[in-house]
Amino acid sequence: MEGQNTTQELTVQQAPAQTKSKNTVWRQLRKNKLSFFGLLVIVFFLLLAVFGPWIAPYPEDAGSNTKIEERLQSPSTEHWFGTDDMGRDIFSRVVIGTRVSLLVGVVAIFITMCIGIPLGAIAGYYGGKLDECVMRITDVFLAFPYLILAMAIAVILKPGLYSAMVAISLTWWPYYTRLVRGQALSLRNQSFVHAAKMMGAKNSHIIFRHILPNCIGPIIVNASLDMGLIILATASLGFIGVGAQPPMAEWGLMISTGREFFMTAPWMTFFPGLAIFLTVLGFNLLGDGLRDILDPQSRPR
Amino acid sequence: MEQLLQVENLKTYFKLIDGTVKAVDGVSFSVNHGEALGIAGETGSGKSVTVKSIMRNMPSYAEITADKLTLEGIDLLKLSNKELQDIWGKKIAMIFQNPTSFINPLFTIEKQMTDVICFHEKIKKAEAVKIARNMLVLVGMPDPDAVLKSYPFQLSGGMIQRIMIALSLSCNPSLLIADEPTTALDVTIQAQIIKLLGDIKTHTSGLILITHNLAIITEICDKVAIMYAGKMMEWGGVNQVMKEPAHPYTQGLLAAIPRLSNESKKLEFIPGNIPSTVDPPKGCRFSPRCPYAKPVCTQEEPPMVEIAPSHFVACHCAGEGGCR
Amino acid sequence: MQEKEMQTKPVLQVKGLKKYFEKKSMRGRVISSLKAVDDISFDVYPGESFGIVGESGCGKSTTAMMLSGLYSLTDGTITFNGVDISDFSNKAVKEERKKIQMVFQDPAASLNPRMKVRATLMEPFVIQGIKVDESKIDELLEIVGLSAAYKDRYPHELSGGQKQRIGVARALAMDPQVIILDEPTSALDVNVQAQIINLLEQIKEQKNLSYVLISHDLSVVKTVCRRVAVMYLGKIVEQGPVDEIFAAPKHPYTKALFSNIPVLDDEKREKIILEGDVPSPSKIPSGCRFHPRCWKAQEICKNEQPQMRDTGNGCCAACHFVEE
């Protein structure tokens, strides 16, 4: 056979018809019942957040409205979740409070990412002394329990919803820096980054075209898991009194004021608590599902 | 010769949401006592799934069926999971491509070897140590006592592969399966392991070697089976198949291997890609890429025919003097 | 023909190349030093394929990284077209270096999984600020034997061989003079390997390129290259035209290495099985680095490092007993 030397000419490989990718994120999410349930819960709360003032039967109760004659009523057809010590309708306040909690979550995550992701990408990609510096700073932040640090910052900033938001962001960014740095560290040694370097690509080009797009999956997963935690943290700050200030309809604050009446009017703490529980659960279930889909390496086999 | 392992019409299907993957689709072969069989094929040809199915070491969603699957007369398909545990290690032993991931980094070699030997042979630890040491001598370990006392991270990949071979031989298995045992190793270390496998052939009743490197098969094996897309294409004595390959796929595969004696800078190759095993081509699975394909090839599946004593080929042209 | 080529100037000249990986203490003292590449020299001529072979840890990949500018040099010079490109913090050098491109070992890692083939092939032009239209991409794809429809695919929709073709196309987009091929086929099946090797050969002739092929597979080097350097523990032990060295290797390590390749050819060389493993580059033996594994080793080998000696026919080897 060697003698014949029948060398085949190089033929152009024709592309077979492109099969529609069947495993889109959406389809996989649909298959995962728990995560899909989580998504439904989140969508439900999002709708509440957007249309809250129209859904709530007594929208005026969101503020410092007082109806002493109706105070501490147990749940009834008129007040589904009962009323609080000022006679305000708890159902309306829980519904309107959704907007506050979700807004805080989104804004805090956004600020967190704005600080954490660039720092992580730069630290991981450049490495060396710069990396050391950034990592030691994150270590300092991570050395404190995040709630205590957030409390301290919120107190310094003058208690209020906005300072709670800033405080949470300032304590949360190191997690994102670590996440992105780890990704960048492994990505910068991938062949496609080497190839870009050999073409003379600038570092900024490599970070924006090659490093960051490949970090998106884990970031989305973390963000969806953190949404729940941040809502919980906001509620905690509100509960201690360094977050949202009365008379704002904020879940943590509502639980805090309901504490005094826990034995006589448990609905005052129960329903805001249930709302927190459901949103946090929803984001966690969705985040778990997204992790399985977007970040398959971390899935336990 | 007495037959050690008999496989007839073995099928392994994976039922997935998007369709059934027919990873192995009707494979038949046998291994006689004292024989070494090499299974060769490209990535995705189903060679690894075949041996894992024989061991019944498969995830639960895999469906394994066969007309016959016996080892020394034991029907492997009828065994319970408990009975399988006794078979593994004692009757069938396996060594793998990446030995380091099959060894626990936290324990010494002695602990890991004696644990296995004690479990299967139901003997005292002191005796097991003796066996382990003998086995290490058998696989040519220069300083067996030091090796027994060391932890896996202190040893190189080649040495750990030797230990895995020693361990798999320690319970005198009837059949040793080696899945790409040298792929992860360097050339000089690969040569050591190949030589070792050739030497220990006499210590087991049978050996199955899976590799994509046909040259390694010619060095150790007596028989060779060529797989393609879940089907057996050709099966026979190594010399027969290598010298007079009857199936066009085998011919193409052999021509694609760069040879030291080759003067030309060009290599021959089979055009196209391996078909999917979810929706394989009709008729002969190689027909879309076969230079000699006839109309019948795309319609009917070719049967295995014996073109020479114990040289089987699944090709429509095989009976008519072969495709040349 | 051979002489005539030799008279032309080398396109790539490597002299006394060294790479030490040093771990320094806080005060800047060297704690440990790993001599990955230790004083190697070779020339690559226009239109030539130069092979570097060796086992893992011999420094061949480090050499590739230095040639491609991804690692800085500890010592030595790399001259490209007569220009010294060793110091690549220099802007002019950076420009010059773009004419050296690389094809990587792992086709899966060499493409950004989030970029379609179009974006991957467009990137070289974007980086250089050159405006090109789709037809340029089609042209590149055609050169590497893929139809234009592959533009809209993501890497995970391609087979290993197709990914490697895209990798070649990307390197070609920079219009290089030298392409460094770092184990371009070691992750591929034989048949796909043959396709890629033929493709590389064809492109080389079309574009008058030079290749530096890094490989552990001697038969691939034999098929592709005209000259070869054999590396062991950071040093070149033998260098010369491929045919000469394969026909009559002079250095004991080369002899052993060549005899260890599993081959299909009828005439089998007698195997020289080496004892032990390749030592770690952090613990390099004294004298000749190969002496602990060498069967010819004498007292002098332990104490004195052998120099490169001419062994005729354009070959040279570094061994004290090369004349024998």
Question: Nearest Cβ partner of B258 from C55, C219, C257?
Answer: C219
Query: How much is the pLDDT for A17?
Result: 62
- Same domain flag for C56 and C81: yes
Inter-chain CB proximity A5 and B255 less than 8 Å = no
- Same domain flag for C171 and C184: no
Mutation test of the interface with chain C: which of A25, A198, A202, choosing the one with the most C Cβ atoms within 10 A?
A198
Inter-chain CB proximity C274 and B186 less than 8 Å = no
Domain boundary among C124, C157, C175: C175
* Range among A292-301, B226-235, C254-263 with highest mean pLDDT value: B226-235
Mutation test of the interface with chain C: which of B162, B260, B269, B289, choosing the one with the most C Cβ atoms within 10 A?
B260
Please give, rounded to a whole number of angstroms, the shortest distance from the CA of A9 to a CA of chain B: 9
Inter-chain CB proximity B18 and A22 less than 8 Å = yes
**Looking at the domain assignment, is residue C324 inside a domain?**
no
Residue A299 pLDDT level (bands cut at 50, 70, 90): very low
Query: How much is the pLDDT for A2?
Result: 35
Residue A247 preceded by cis peptide, ω within 30: yes
Mean pLDDT of A267-274: 89
Inter-chain CB proximity A15 and C102 less than 8 Å = no
Residue C324 pLDDT level (bands cut at 50, 70, 90): low
- Same domain flag for C195 and C295: yes
- Same domain flag for C148 and C180: no
- Same domain flag for C170 and C181: no
Mean pLDDT of A63-82: 79
Inter-chain CB proximity A8 and B269 less than 8 Å = yes
Question: Nearest Cβ partner of C256 from B156, B188, B258?
Answer: B188
What residue of A is the nearest CA neighbor of B268?
A: A7
Going by C-alpha positions, the residue among A236, A238, A235, A229 that lies closest to residue A281 is A229
Two structure tokens written together for C316: 């040279």
* Interface of chain A toward chain C, CB-CB under 8 angstroms: 7, 10-15, 18, 21, 190-192, 194-202, 205, 209-210, 213-214, 216
Q: Does B255 touch chain A (CB under 8 A)?
A: yes
What residue of B is the nearest CA neighbor of A22?
A: B18
- Same domain flag for C72 and C109: no
Contacts of B269 in chain A (CB under 8 A): 8
Task: Return the CATH architecture of domain B3-91+177-266.
Answer: 3-Layer(aba) Sandwich (3.40)
Interface of B with A in 67-86 (CB under 8 A): none
Query: How much is the pLDDT for C246?
Result: 86
Inter-chain CB proximity C223 and B187 less than 8 Å = no
Please give, rounded to a whole number of angstroms, the shortest distance from the CA of A151 to a CA of chain C: 38
- Same domain flag for C251 and C109: no
Question: Nearest Cβ partner of B218 from C191, C264, C276?
Answer: C264
- Averaged confidence pLDDT in chain C: 88
Q: Per-domain residue ranges for chain A?
A: 84-298
What residue of A is the nearest CA neighbor of B254?
A: A1
Two structure tokens written together for C90: 């220099």
Inter-chain CB proximity B265 and C224 less than 8 Å = yes
Least confident of A60-69, A278-287, C201-210: A60-69
**Looking at the domain assignment, is residue C322 inside a domain?**
no
Please give, rounded to a whole number of angstroms, the shortest distance from the CA of B154 to a CA of chain C: 12
CATH number of A84-298: 1.10.3720.10
- Same domain flag for C128 and C32: no
Q: Does C267 touch chain B (CB under 8 A)?
A: yes
Query: How much is the pLDDT for B59?
Result: 82
Residue C178 pLDDT level (bands cut at 50, 70, 90): very high
pLDDT in tens, A16-32: 665 555 567 777 788 88
Query: How much is the pLDDT for B103?
Result: 85
Inter-chain CB proximity A1 and B18 less than 8 Å = no
* Residues 6+ away with beta carbon under 8 Å from C95: A200
For every residue of B216-260, DSSP letters joined together read HHHHH-SEEEEEETTEEEEEEEHHHHHHS--SHHHHHHHHHS--T
Query: How much is the pLDDT for C103?
Result: 94
Q: Please name the amino acid found at residue B23.
A: A
Tell me the C-alpha distance between A226 and A222, whole Å. 6
Contacts of C264 in chain B (CB under 8 A): 214-215, 218, 242, 254, 257, 259
Going by C-alpha positions, the residue among B188, B159, B260 that lies closest to residue C256 is B188
Domain boundary among C159, C175, C191: C175
Inter-chain CB proximity B264 and A5 less than 8 Å = yes
Inter-chain CB proximity B271 and A2 less than 8 Å = no
- Same domain flag for C183 and C286: yes
Mutation test of the interface with chain A: which of B244, B250, B268, choosing the one with the most A Cβ atoms within 10 A?
B268
Contacts of B186 in chain C (CB under 8 A): 55-56, 216, 278
Interface of B with C in 92-121 (CB under 8 A): none
- Same domain flag for C186 and C292: yes
Inter-chain CB proximity C147 and A7 less than 8 Å = no
Domain boundary among C175, C207, C229: C175
What angle is formed at CA A202 by the lines to CA A199 and CA A207, rounded to 5 degrees?
110
Low-confidence ranges of chain B (pLDDT < 50): none
What residue of A is the nearest CA neighbor of B256?
A: A7
> Subunits touching B (CB < 8 Å, at least 3 pairs)?
A, C
Inter-chain CB proximity A7 and C101 less than 8 Å = no
Residue A189 has pLDDT above 60, yes or no: yes
Taking the alpha carbons of A37, A41, A46, A47 in that order, is the dihedral positive or negative?
positive
Going by C-alpha positions, the residue among A25, A75, A41, A102 that lies closest to residue A294 is A25
Residue C74 has pLDDT above 50, yes or no: yes
Inter-chain CB proximity B268 and A22 less than 8 Å = no
**Residue A138 or A53, more confident:** A138
Inter-chain CB proximity B268 and A2 less than 8 Å = no
What residue of C is the nearest CA neighbor of A205?
A: C127
CB C232 within 8 A of CB C32: no
The whole domain housing C37 covers 2-99+176-317
Query: How much is the pLDDT for A122?
Result: 94
Report the run of H or E that residue A289 belongs to, with start and end: helix A267-294
pLDDT in tens, B183-196: 878 888 888 888 88
Whole-number percent of chain C with pLDDT over 90: 42
Please give, rounded to a whole number of angstroms, the shortest distance from the CA of C142 to a CA of chain A: 7
The CATH number linked to C22 is: 3.40.50.300
Residue A10 has pLDDT above 60, yes or no: no
Q: Does C189 touch chain B (CB under 8 A)?
A: yes
Q: How many domains does chain C have?
A: 2
Q: How far is CA A168 from the centre of its chain?
A: 12
For every residue of A28-96, DSSP letters joined together read HHHH-HHHHHHHHHHHHHHHHHHHHHHH-S-GGGGSS---GGGTTPPP-SSSTT-B-TT--BHHHHHHH
Residue C211 has pLDDT above 50, yes or no: yes
CB A181 within 8 A of CB A120: yes
Q: Does B242 touch chain C (CB under 8 A)?
A: yes
Least confident of A59-73, C11-25, C93-107: A59-73
Residue A208 has pLDDT above 50, yes or no: yes
Would the pTM count as exceeding 0.90?
no
Contacts of A201 in chain C (CB under 8 A): 123, 127
> Subunits touching A (CB < 8 Å, at least 3 pairs)?
B, C
Residue A205 has pLDDT above 80, yes or no: yes
**Looking at the domain assignment, is residue C323 inside a domain?**
no
Two structure tokens written together for B299: 């319609």
For every residue of C206-261, DSSP letters joined together read HHT-EEEEEES-HHHHHHH-SEEEEEETTEEEEEEEHHHHHHS--SHHHHHHHHHS
Residue C79 pLDDT level (bands cut at 50, 70, 90): very high
Question: Nearest Cβ partner of B266 from A1, A7, A31?
Answer: A7
- Same domain flag for C199 and C254: yes
pLDDT in tens, B1-45: 578 899 999 999 988 777 788 889 889 998 988 889 999 988 888
**Residue A229 or A60, more confident:** A229
Mean pLDDT of C96-103: 91
- Same domain flag for C201 and C118: no
Q: How many CB pairs under 8 A join B and C?
A: 114
Please list the alpha-helical segments (H only) found in B125-278. 125-138, 144-149, 157-169, 187-200, 214-220, 238-243, 248-256
